Structure 1
Amino acid sequence: MPQDNRQPPIPLNDFRPGDTFANRIALSLSGLHRPRRAGISGTSAHGADSIILAGMYEDDIDAGDRIWYAGHGGRDQKTGKQIADQTLDAYNMALLRNVALGHPVRLIRGATLRNEHAPTEGYRYEGLFQVRSYERVRGKAGFWIWLFYLERLVPDRAG
């Protein structure tokens, strides 16, 4: 269960889409995504502030500006396969909270994603995404997962 030992929020203007990080340690030290292992950063009370899309869950779908993000849990750490149902744990609750509060989340893509949207190495900050909806569905492996639908927020170019 994630602890709520977060620092004050980092101003959004401290990072720009396209900023890159060599590894999870550099990413964590930057403050953009503090957890060094978890893909979801945040709390069930305040919502998620960042997520990493790195190809770790077979049910993730990366369509560039639209993402279907499989929640946390049920994955075997050694094989990477989904072996159990996902529960409504604090990580998944954090993303559900974003829907309720209307708060966007920072998206970071990892090179392990291995698609046309992924960086060639390390991790890249992609910008803000709105968590539009979620549902509990049977994933490809037959287990219940939480699937979150996100859309990129386009900055106001007029201002």
Structure 2
Amino acid sequence: MSQPVFGHVGTYRPGDTFRNRIELSLSRVHRPRRTGVCGTQQLGAESIVLAGQYEEDDFGEDEILYSGNGGRDPQTGRQIMDQVVTTGILALLKSIETALPVRVLRKVPGEDGELEVYRYEGLYRVVGSTYGPGKSGFQVYIFRLRPLIGV
């Protein structure tokens, strides 16, 4: 297992794009090939991916709302039950305490005929969280992230 990296990885900077999750993993910008949070409950989250799978996710200019994981129907993608604490949720909660930077990646429409790509949005800090009813009425974790400017 490799050492965690908090902050930029290598020469990758905001605006860089990656064709798929495998490329993200090989670049080490976001190591897991499937999960949306890379991190541990001991150290916090290193990186997250917004892939449009959770209805609470909202990418704003001044703040990101990022949903915890779990409770979704694998067929429809709809929230069908309350979220429970997972490793990813614990990592994000720890990031509130540590205030270490989190790399944020987002699935966006590609250019030059590419359907979708993952774009590195930059470094953010997890500044808070709530656990309450989401848009579908089930209990979900919502994390607030704010951009780190000039890093």
Decide whether the 8 Å contact of 2:6 with 2:102 is kept in 1: no
Decide whether the 8 Å contact of 1:10 with 1:31 is kept in 2: no
Partner of 2:148: 153
Q: Which amino acid aligns with 1:42?
A: G
2:55 to 38, 55, 58: 58
Secondary structure of residue in 1 paired with 2:23: helix
2:131 to 127, 133, 136: 136
- Displacement of 1:61 after TM fit? 1.4
- Displacement of 1:7 after TM fit? 3.5
Partner of 1:121: 116
Q: Which runs of 5+ in 1 are unaligned?
A: none
Q: If the length of structure 1 is used for normalisation, what is the TM-score? A: 0.85
Q: If the length of structure 2 is used for normalisation, what is the TM-score? A: 0.89
Root mean square deviation, CA, Å: 1.9
Q: Which amino acid aligns with 1:150?
A: L
Secondary structure of residue in 1 paired with 2:95: helix
CA distance in 1, matches of 2:103, 2:96: 14
- Displacement of 1:72 after TM fit? 1.1
Q: Which moved more, 1:9-18 or 1:27-36?
A: 9-18
Q: Which amino acid aligns with 1:124?
A: R
Partner of 2:43: 46
Aligned residue pairs, count: 146
Secondary structure of residue in 2 paired with 1:82: coil
Deviations 1:89-120 (A, max 9, x none): 11100000000111121000102xx7xxxx97
1:36 to 33, 36, 44: 33
Secondary structure of residue in 1 paired with 2:116: coil
